[in-house]
Chain A
Amino acid sequence: MESSFRRGAREGMRDFLPLSVGLVPWAIVTGIAMRSIGLSPAESMGMNLLVYAGTAQLGTLPLIGSGAPLWLIFLTALVLNLRFIIFSAALAPVFHDHRFMRRLASSYLLVDGMFAVGADKLQRADDPHWRWGYYIVPSVYCWLLWQLCGAVGVFGAGAIPRDWSLEFMTTIALTVMMIPMLRERPMWVAALVGGLGAVLLRELPLRLGLIAGIALGIGAGFIAERALAGRAAR
């Protein structure tokens, strides 16, 4: 009889496989973008391994490239990764009966796509072996896909002429990531205030304008949500 780990793994792969195709261009673009700011192939692959988070990688590249201070790079990466706290809270009960090393691996491998596809089933499944198979096999597959396609971008970037403004790929990638978030009006407000805030406050010392803009955006989104909810309730 097939073990429940394997049944979980099979179902997880079936759910995650269609989505994973969309990761390929992202991994390649991230690879090219890392080279475009002057990282060596080893440093780029190192970043892919150490960070393994596309948004945080792409978002910090312009800051690394312009020589921003470490604390600003760290804070920006933290903000871009904050959403994972929500995912982690949602999945914590799923892994609470597993050993520490497994929980560490699950944490490192937790990506948006797997959460979106599998969180619901994981939360409802009773069998820990099934849950582990369902989560870890697609997650490792996703990691391999990211590293392999990332390497294609990292080593392929050398073939592209240097004066092709490749660093703009980062801006394109960040824009495309943002668009699906803007379905609700408070999200629009958060993005608009965050972006314009960063533009208007750019003269602040120590590049504080970026963090100030983000903080204003989060606050504005939250206030807009409350204001809209208040209007609907009346």
Chain B
Amino acid sequence: MSEGLWLWLTLLAIGSTTIMTRGSFILAGEKGRLPPALQRALRYAPAAALSALVMPDLLLDGGAFDPLNPKLAAGGVVILVALRSRNPWLPFILGMAMLLLLRKGFGW
């Protein structure tokens, strides 16, 4: 992990994207408009990015493809719970419970 000053620079760089995107049109202060095609393409960015971050963690174990691993089982529980319940705590509680049960209870 990055240390000290480098880490703060990293946090600052991440923070700059917050102001850059949220302020893009508001700070310009004009009635700017995004080209419709770009606007539609941008809609897919969050789903693609979230999935690109999540899927490697769920499908890889120690860098190798492994469709049967405790994280994927716990991820399945998270998806089922999030689809069926509106309680915001439940996916965290049941997902972590599943992972800990498999790893600590069964030593997987």
A232 at the interface (CB under 8 A from B): no
A165 at the interface (CB under 8 A from B): yes
Residues of A near B60 (CB, < 8 A) are 199, 202
Q: How far is the CB of B92 from chain A (nearest CB, A)?
A: 6
Q: How far is the CB of B53 from chain A (nearest CB, A)?
A: 5
A79 at the interface (CB under 8 A from B): yes
In the complex, which of the residues B1, B15, B25, B95 contacts A50, with contact meaning CB atoms closer than 8 Å? B15
Determine if B54 and A171 form an interchain contact, defined as CB atoms under 8 angstroms apart: yes
Interface size (A, Cβ < 8 Å)?
A: 93
Determine if B47 and A88 form an interchain contact, defined as CB atoms under 8 angstroms apart: no
A119 at the interface (CB under 8 A from B): no
Once the chains are docked, how many angstroms separate the CA of A217 from the CA of B74? 24
Dominant secondary structure of chain B at its interface with chain A: helix
Determine if B47 and A25 form an interchain contact, defined as CB atoms under 8 angstroms apart: no
In the complex, which of the residues B2, B32, B103 contacts A64, with contact meaning CB atoms closer than 8 Å? B2
CB closest chain-A residue, reference B16: A74
Residues of A near B22 (CB, < 8 A) are 81, 84, 87-88, 107-108, 110
Could you list some 29 contacts between A and B, CB below 8 A? A26-B88, A59-B50, A60-B14, A64-B2, A70-B9, A78-B17, A83-B43, A83-B46, A84-B21, A84-B22, A85-B21, A85-B25, A87-B22, A92-B29, A103-B27, A108-B22, A108-B23, A110-B22, A110-B26, A165-B100, A178-B50, A181-B50, A190-B47, A194-B49, A197-B52, A199-B65, A210-B52, A214-B52, A218-B44
